[in-house]
Amino acid sequence: MKIIVIGSVAAGTSVAAKARRNTEEAEVIVYDQGKDISYSVCGIPYQIGGEVEELSALTPRNAAWFKKRYNVSVFTEHKVTKVDHANKQLEVTDLVSGEKKLENYDVLVFATGASPFTPPPFNQKEYDNVFQVRNIQDARDIGAYSAKQPKKALIIGAGFIGLEMTEQLIHKGLEVTIVQLEDQVMPPMDADMTFRVEEHMRAKGVNLILSDTVKTIEGETSVERVITTNGITIEPDIVILSAGVRPNTELAKEMGVELGASRAIAVNKKMQTNLPDVYAVGDVAESFSVITGKPIYRPLGSTANKMGRIAGDVITGGDLEHRGVLGTGIFRIFDLHVGQTGLTEKEAKKEGYDVEILYNIKPDHAEYLGGKELTIKALADKETGRILGAQAIGQGGVDKRIDVIATAITFKAKSEDLFHLDLAYAPPFATTKDPILYTGMALDNALKRNPLLTPAELIRRQNSGEKLQIIDTRSKKDYDKSHVKGAIHVPLAELRERNVELDKYVATVTYCNKGVTGNASQNLLLNYGFEKVYNLSGGNKNYQSYLKMLKSKSK
């Protein structure tokens, strides 16, 4: 059997390695039009910023290493230009010599990855100070240009790469401006969470321009000046395009491989396409949601490696299957770690779920050992209690909380199951009631007896004219500093005596600074016979943040 893989980064090399582990009988050949193989795309911003000293650390393996280790022939700077699947033959062009050759195959694997999207008007011509961050050559080019000591950077796009490059260029001393088409950074997340990121970025000196695009460019060989659609003028020394990626499907489409709803190659759980003996893996292939079962496109190195291993196993007689993804991701932006998994609020509602939403604001570990605030937004399905997703922001402990919730979602855990997890505890690492345990407890309570109300829903109800009884249970000092519109002040310590001043039959909302005292007040009123009592999720702190976000987005 002759296996040919097109593409030699994460997915392609994983196919080859797993196939060889399973059998010594197959001939395995890998073609790639680039110069480098099996490199870490995700590490490139950190090498550019200097956290990774040598670029070679991101390219630990080469073609000779693969030949020696796996007896796999890897040909770099070779482009597959045509595929005749009826005769199982492809045409390969040596990009150095220009020579062409024909190659037969029994099994063909597309691991062609994805290419950065070049937004107009940057696609009109070549500029010597405009770069993308997708491969090792991009890192070399940016490194070479850095010798000119640019002072001002313009970054187009505020996704993973855009934010990571922002952090690294600020660390290098550059002034950074981001222009983002959407009205928030990290569009896959909920805006009320990413607003916290935006505030942090601005506090670190980032010039963040949202809901805008570059309209015109001035300069012949270099971008000297850009003017946005909203009339803002920016004069950058270097421009980084990070406006997302598009799967490289052209060759596959030409031979009749079907694409999915996401425009990536459609595959089944065994990474097989609609054509026999043709597979697709990595950033060129579509995945599916663990929760909904629907196709989704989430190009990540971790998923690419997984897909490659599955395809390599199936091709050589194994029975591995892809089990889908949750869209789990994490990034660092200065002092903040930001992670997510599963469905966001907007995604869950679009899918038709009636969700309970919790904002859990707690220290990531014991405060007396330096614990810092961690904010978790978690969702549960009201009908089944199943955890649907979570987003988390903090200075520490984000990764492990997101990973625990991702694991829980994968095994269809309900909110009550989170509370019963036996998690590692010691003061340097967690609190006695870990944020995960509290998330499960509060969501389970909300589903059964103690409903939560988000700031967005509270404001919507107020604006609709609904009669609400809003109780601020904090100190007078905190109330005077800021409070929810229309709230009356009744501290928890006085609520037992003063609840007679309230109407038991009017929908009531209790709140405190972050949620705990509000919940205690909610329980008290429910015990006194109040018909409907909500706790404002995340308390006044979350409410004020939401108001601030609304104000900033309305400018």
Residues classed as catalytic: 42
Distance CA 383, CA 360 (A): 21
Q: Which amino acid, 297?
A: Y
For tokens 């009592």, the residue is 533
Distance CA 209, CA 203 (A): 14
CB neighbourhood size of 18 (10 A): 22
Q: Which residues pair with 132 in a beta bridge?
A: 241
Phi first, then psi, for residue 484 (nearest 5°) are -70, 140
Closest alpha carbon to 453 in 540, 553, 327: 540
Structure tokens at 503: 């109407």
Q: Which amino acid, 258?
A: E
b or e along 96-108 (b: 16 or more beta carbons within 10 Å of the residue's beta carbon)? eeeeeeebebebb
Which residues are CB-contacts of 320 (< 8 A; sequence separation ≥ 6)? 270, 309, 310, 313, 314
Phi first, then psi, for residue 194 (nearest 5°) are -70, -20
What Rg value do the Cα atoms of the chain yield, rounded? 27
**Cβ–Cβ < 8 Å for 398, 436:** no
**Residue 77 Cα distances to 2, 7, 36, 84, angstroms:** 21, 11, 9, 21
Q: What is the DSSP string of 300-336?
A: -HHHHHHHHHHHHHHHTT-------B---EEEEETTE
Structure tokens at 39: 């490199």
b or e along 298-325 (b: 16 or more beta carbons within 10 Å of the residue's beta carbon)? bbbbebbbbbbbbbbbbbbebebebebb
Q: Which amino acid, 9?
A: V
Distance CA 280, CA 7 (A): 10
Distance CA 304, CA 284 (A): 9
Q: What is the DSSP string of 92-105?
A: EEETTT--EEEEE-
Query: Mutual orientation of helices 10-22 and 63-70 as an angle, nearest 10°?
Result: 20
Which residues are CB-contacts of 467 (< 8 A; sequence separation ≥ 6)? 506, 507
**Cβ–Cβ < 8 Å for 187, 177:** no
Element (H, E) at 369: none
Q: What is the largest CA-CA distance in the chain?
A: 90
Structure tokens at 120: 């107009």
HSE of 257, CA atoms in CB hemisphere, 13 A: 31
